[in-house]
Structure 1
Amino acid sequence: MPRALGQVDEQKSRAILRAAAELFREKGARTSMAEIARRAGVSKQTLYNRYPTKLDIGRALAAQRSDAVTAPLQSGAAAEDVLAAIAETLIRRICLDDKGASLRGVALVSPEAPDLARIIYEAGPGESVRRIGVWLAEQDRLGRLTVPDPRAAAEMFAGMALGHGHLRSVLGLPHPAVDDVPARAREVARRFVRAFAPD
């Protein structure tokens, strides 16, 4: 069966990003473009055509994660349901023992490649917080929540969901068991909504 137009390109792009994420976790900023191409099973020319620099790769990886985290913002669901879905994604990506290795990769990269670390933050966690803040501002405008500082509230929400998850992941420490991730996410959302409920 013939491939659809662009299908091969998308597969190669996914392979490149997957390989880059693995190598950044393993080697940090010392990862070379040649190593990424080799692990992805593509030519260096293919890699450079899609992602001219490691900064471009880092930006793309972070943007993927931000899109996944903030997808519920487009659902039109009730505030608590939207926030519970986001909290669950955050917990699953950071606070489970086999997750969060990418944070160690960013921590490894940051002293050697501060520009890469900044881009990863801005396109990933920073963008997620920005989008949540915009959504919270809209909830405030609609009278569903009272959020005087949406950006600060968005950061607060992420902190409530993750606790010390970021720190444990960066340090390579085990995470406490989370027996029921959806229930924990729902509790975070419920408490947040209660804290910012209209008077």
Structure 2
Amino acid sequence: MPRIAGQIDERKREAILDAASELLAEKGLAVSMEEIARRAGVSKQTLYNRFASKTDIARALAERRSDLITAPLRTTEEPEVVLTALARAMLDKAGEPDQKTSMRGLALISPHAPELASAVYDAGPGESLRRLAQWLAEQDRRGMIRVPDPALAAEMFTGMVLGHTNLKLVLGVDAGVTNIPGRASETARRFLRAFATMSEG
């Protein structure tokens, strides 16, 4: 059965993003668009048809990572199950070798390429925070928990999950997290206790 054009386009897009992720981890921003096209097995024209610059590629990578991490928010599970899964996803991603490298690289180049750093933050961590805030607002609306300021609560949850992990990543210090399932579960439980409704408290 022949593949339709949309499937082929999506496959090429993913190949480009996979290649870019590998090369950015290896070379940082020194990597060229030509190298990305070659690693992805596509022509330069195909690459530029989809991404006009490395900033566009970095933004797309951040968006893809945000989609993966926030997937639990798109389920209909109970709040504790959702937040535990979200915390696990955050901790799993934070510990990946390419994430350690990219975080350090982004921190180093951000003073010289603020537009890139801003694009990556907005499409990645910033978007994840917005999605979590929207989810928390919905739980408040449904009476599941009491969250007067969903945006602030989303930042609190992220801080509780990662702790100093992000700082260790930027500094290049070992950021290995032990007992991720236990840490994720404990964080979700304590967070929900802090925002419990009066009847639950």
Give TM-score scaled by structure 1 length.
Answer: 0.91
User: Counterpart in 2 of 1:195?
Assistant: 194
Aligned pairs (5 A) from 1:134-149: 134-149=134-149
How far did 1:157 drift?
0.5
Determine whether 1:186 maps to 2:161: no
How far did 1:15 drift?
1.5
- Larger displacement relative to structure 2 (60-69 or 4-13): 4-13
Runs of 4+ in 1 over 6 A off after TM superposition: none
Higher relative CO (Cα under 8 Å, sequence separation at least 6) belongs to 1
Distance 1:121 1:49, change over 3 A: same
SS in 2 for 1:198: coil
| Aligned amino acid, residue 63 of structure 1 | E
Q: Does the CA-based 8 Å contact 2:28-2:102 persist in structure 1?
A: no
Identity level (%): 58
User: Counterpart in 2 of 1:82?
Assistant: 82
Structure 1 CA distance for aligned equivalents of residues 196 and 95 of structure 2: 27
| Aligned amino acid, residue 94 of structure 1 | A
How far did 1:40 drift?
1.7
How far did 1:28 drift?
2.8
SS in 2 for 1:111: coil
Structure 1 CA distance for aligned equivalents of residues 43 and 96 of structure 2: 35
User: Counterpart in 1 of 2:67?
Assistant: 67
Q: Does the CA-based 8 Å contact 1:161-1:188 persist in structure 2?
A: yes
How far did 1:69 drift?
1.1
User: Counterpart in 1 of 2:38?
Assistant: 38
For residues 65-123 of structure 1, the C-alpha deviation after alignment (integer angstroms, 9 at most, x for no partner) is 11111111111111111100100000000035675333223223312311111011001
For residues 138-180 of structure 1, the C-alpha deviation after alignment (integer angstroms, 9 at most, x for no partner) is 11122211111111110110111111111111222212441x3
Structure 2 CA distance for aligned equivalents of residues 38 and 65 of structure 1: 23
Q: Does the CA-based 8 Å contact 2:17-2:61 persist in structure 1?
A: yes
Distance 1:96 1:175, change over 3 A: farther
How far did 1:41 drift?
2.0
Where do 5+ consecutive residues of structure 2 fail to align? none
Aligned residue pairs total 198
Q: Does the CA-based 8 Å contact 1:17-1:57 persist in structure 2?
A: yes
Distance 1:59 1:177, change over 3 A: closer
Give me the CA root mean square deviation: 1.8
How far did 1:63 drift?
0.7
SS in 1 for 2:5: coil
- Larger displacement relative to structure 2 (93-102 or 126-135): 93-102
Determine whether 1:156 maps to 2:152: no
Q: Does the CA-based 8 Å contact 1:25-1:106 persist in structure 2?
A: no
Aligned pairs (5 A) from 1:18-29: 18-29=18-29
Give TM-score scaled by structure 2 length.
Answer: 0.90
